[in-house]
């Protein structure tokens, strides 16, 4: 299993726009991606930074997910800080 890690920074005043984009575009697209096992999206208390961990069945599927994330349209106020695929080495 492999994980796609994504960290974003959201411009001040655009937190609601980013949340709407997440709910209406990102989550539905990820649900349809090949090899997805599960996904989690988190944000800081002020809503200005977000992180996600999306688990995939294989490294190939996770890398395809990373390409999809980087090429998908997103609000100009949302900036990628990290998009990285990592091997899952343990779980509970």
Residue 72: give its domain's CATH number.
3.30.70.100
In a domain, 37, yes or no: yes
pLDDT at res. 88: 98
| CA 59 – CA 4 distance, rounded (Å) | 9
Q: Count up the domains in the chain and report the number.
A: 1
Query: Given this model, what pLDDT does residue 9 score?
Result: 98
Q: How far apart are CA 58 and CA 49, in angstroms?
A: 27
The residues that bridge with 83 in the sheet, in sequence order, are 6
The pLDDT value given to residue 7: 98
List of the chain residues with pLDDT < 50: none
Q: Which pTM was predicted?
A: 0.94
How much is the pLDDT for 76? 97
Residue 29 in domain: yes
Report yes or no: 62 and 80 within 8 Å, Cβ to Cβ: no
């Amino acid at each position: 299993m492999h994980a796609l890690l994504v960290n974003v920074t959201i411009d001040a005043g655009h937190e609601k726009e980013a949340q709407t984009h997440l709910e209406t575009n990102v989550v539905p697209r990820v649900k349809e991606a090949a090899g997805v096992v599960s996904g989690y999206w988190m944000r800081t208390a002020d809503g200005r930074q977000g992180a996600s961990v999306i688990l995939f069945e294989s490294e190939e599927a996770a890398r395809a997910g990373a390409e999809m994330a980087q090429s998908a349209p997103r609000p100009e106020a949302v900036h990628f800080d990290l998009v990285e695929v990592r091997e899952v080495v343990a779980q509970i």
